[in-house]
Structure formats: structure tokens, C-alpha cells
Amino acid sequence: MPVNGPVPWKRADHTGAKHDIYRRYLQRWFPILLGGSNAYPSATYAEGFAGPGVYLDDHPGSPVIAVQAMLDKVPESDAIVKMIFVDDDQRCIESLRHQLTTRFPQRPRTPDAFRLKLAHGTCTETLEPSLDAMHAWGQPILAVLDSWGNVPVTFDLLARLAHNQSSEVIITLGTQPFIRFVSTMGQEADDVFGGDPTWRHIDTMASAQAKRQHILTCYRQTLSTAGFKYLLDFELVDTRGESLYLVFGTNHRRGLEKMKDSLWEVDRIYGVGFRDPRDEQAETLFELTDPALAPLGRLLLNRLEDAPATGCRVEELREFTLFETVYRPQHVIRTLNQLRANGLIASDEPGLYRRSRVRLAS
């Protein structure tokens, strides 16, 4: 729905951190898909909730960040860049058009090589037809669905994106609307989860953390059912404790690796950390350049509890870390060394390497 208040508005701290992650990922995404001898003929960047392109104090919005990343990382080539920006507030569309024309007074590429569409309407009703009109299907699409709240994104669109060649989604998941209005939300809320009403079990849960975790788990299942093979979700937390989930879906291991690289490089100036939703103690990670490894240690110990008595190889734990946590595989051996020094795990080798086998200490 249109913004209730003035346009533009103040940028939240976690929005600054989120946009830093977007920028770093796009600086990797564009060259991979559109640069070099293996470039695709075209790729599309699309936003279903584009906003006005600017915040108070002149911070750029994500559409401006996306155009700049393309300019910085994709030289002139035969590849076609397509961008679609949808918003249901006409003020945002007008502001965004002004921002794009003033920040980029010279068109970044020729009209044929850079095809831009600004569309007024809701994400549900407008984004998919816009993708159709731009002939985006059949080539890679990165869809950023930053809805500020209750993810009004249709399952059918998610499934179509998941089955489109080399396509990915970044989704902002706000759990509070589901928690507050579970008793009054109708079928449209179930549709967000692919028609599955399991998310409504939050009514039986006492703690807010359990409710948030349950909604996230249900939404992960929704994306998996839609067809995304690899998922990364994490919780951005500012210094006041306000949080926001981001969920990334891809079908390529390399995309997952690059998104994690982008996450762990986020600039600390925003005063925002993140945490792994699977960590029962919900420890916030603020020192990203010197990561707190205790949450990963807890997750690895849980994993080893389910392993055979002989334990498992470090490489298996590296794979688990990549696919099931917010950490990167390169964090694993350092964490295991700490666990062994604390007497929590054992290994028959003096040093730990990818081929090494580790087990819980007896």
C-alpha cells in the first residue's frame, strides 16, 4: 500500500546495512552473469517495492545502488541489462525517476543495452507482467522483494523465478504483522506460504522468539517448495535490538558463496550486526572482521551429536556450515580448534585439516 507519511523518509540503520549487502552482492552478480566469454545475452534486476530512490540526508535507495553497481562492474558489451522498478506509491515512482535522471545525467548505456522500466502498481499485480513485457524470462533474474513487512509476494511468482534460468531472490521478511494479526488474516496470508497454514501454529507459542523462528522456518519451506535449492537467511539487528530477516534463494552454490561473502563484508559503520536464526542463544554478531565463533561452535556440536560415534570429516562440517548457517566454511577449522582446546571435541590427528575426522569428546 502507498506510504503513510512523507516521501522520502529517514533511512533505518538496518536498511543501511542491508543496502551495503545488496551493493556488495551486485558488484559480484553483474560481472559473473554479464562479463567475460561466458556472459548471458541479458540479465534482469527487478524490485517489487522500489521506493523513492533516496532517503533523507540524500542516502541512495537500492535502485540507485543497483545502477551504480552495474556501471562500476560491467563494461560496455553486447550483453543487455534490464532493470524493473515497481512501487504502488506514485510519489515514489516520480521521485525515483528524478533520482535516476539527476544522479545519472548521461544514460549509462545505449537504450538497447540498458532497458529500464518504472511501473506504478503493487508487486503482486505489476511485477510479473513487467517481467513479461521486458522479455526477461529465459535469462537470469535477480528479484529484490523488499516489502518492509509481511511479504505480499505470490507463491506462483516465487516458483516461476525458481525455475527460471540462473535466477535468485532476496526477500525481506517482517514477522510482526503475522504475529499481531494471525487471528484476522485470511487466505491471502496462507498464500504467502504457498497455501500452507502451518505458520498459524504461532498461536500456540508463548515466546516472541519462538514465533519469529517458526514463521521463518515456514517461509524457508515455502521457498524450498517453490524450487530454490539453496537458502540463506539471517537476522539483521541494530543496537536497539530491532531486527529484520533477510532470506536469499538461489539454485547455484556460487551464488550462495558470494552472498555470504557480501554479508561478512558489511560495513560496521551502520551499528548493525546479524545473527544466525538457528542459534538457540540468539547471539548477535557485531564484530564481523573478528567474528564471534561461539554460535558456530554450538551449531557444530549439535551437528556432531547426530553424527556416528566415529564423528565426521571436517569437510562435511564445512559443507554443513555453508548450507545451514550464516558462517563461511573458512570459519570452521578455527572454531573446531577452539572446541578442541576446551575439551569439547576430539580428533586422532595433531592438526585439523579438511580431511581430518572429529568427534564429540567422551
pLDDT tens-digit profile of 238-248?
777 778 899 99
The verdict on 21 and 153 lying in the same domain is: yes
The verdict on 231 and 264 lying in the same domain is: yes
- Among 275, 304, 326, residue at a domain's last position: 275
The verdict on 185 and 111 lying in the same domain is: yes
In-domain check, residue 174: yes
In-domain check, residue 30: yes
In-domain check, residue 281: no
The verdict on 39 and 89 lying in the same domain is: yes
User: Scanning the structure block, which residue is given the C-alpha cell 536469499?
Assistant: 248
Residue 2 pLDDT > 70 = no
The verdict on 354 and 209 lying in the same domain is: no
The verdict on 269 and 203 lying in the same domain is: yes
Domain that holds residue 257: 13-275
Structural domains of the chain, count: 2
Contact call for residues 74 and 43 (beta carbons, < 8 A): no
pLDDT tens, residue by residue, 186-231: 888 898 899 999 999 999 999 988 999 999 999 999 999 999 999 9
Q: Encode the chain in three state secondary structure.
A: CCCCCCCCCCCCHHHHHHHHHHHHHHHHHHHHHHCCCCCCCEEEEEECCCCCCECHHHCECHHHHHHHHHHHHCCCCCCEEEEEEEECCHHHHHHHHHHHHHHCCCCCCCCCCEEEEEEECCHHHHHHHHHHHCCCCCCCEEEEECCCCCCCCCHHHHHHHHCCCCCEEEEEECCHHHHHHCCCCCHHHHHHCCCCHHHHHHHHCCCHHHHHHHHHHHHHHHHHHHCCCEEEEEEEEECCCCEEEEEEEECCHHHHHHHHHHHHCCCHHHCEEEECCCCCCCCCECCCCCCCCHHHHHHHHHHHHCCCCCCEEHHHHHHHHHHHCCCCHHHHHHHHHHHHHCCCEECCCCCCCCCCEEEECC
Average pLDDT over residues 74-97: 93
pTM of the model: 0.93
Query: Hey, what's the cell of 195?
Result: 497455501
Contact call for residues 30 and 43 (beta carbons, < 8 A): yes
The verdict on 107 and 221 lying in the same domain is: yes
Residue 267 pLDDT > 60 = yes
The verdict on 171 and 220 lying in the same domain is: yes
The verdict on 88 and 146 lying in the same domain is: yes
The verdict on 213 and 314 lying in the same domain is: no
Q: How confident is the model at residue 11 (pLDDT cuts 50, 70, 90)?
A: very high
CATH of the domain at 201: 3.40.50.150
Average pLDDT over residues 35-51: 92
Q: Which of 147-156, 254-263, 332-341 has the lowest mean pLDDT?
A: 147-156
Residue 81 pLDDT > 70 = yes
The verdict on 173 and 230 lying in the same domain is: yes
Contact call for residues 95 and 7 (beta carbons, < 8 A): yes
User: Scanning the structure block, which residue is given the C-alpha cell 541479458?
Assistant: 42
pLDDT tens, residue by residue, 135-180: 999 999 999 998 765 556 889 999 999 999 999 999 998 888 889 8
CATH of the domain at 320: 1.10.10
pLDDT at 292: 83
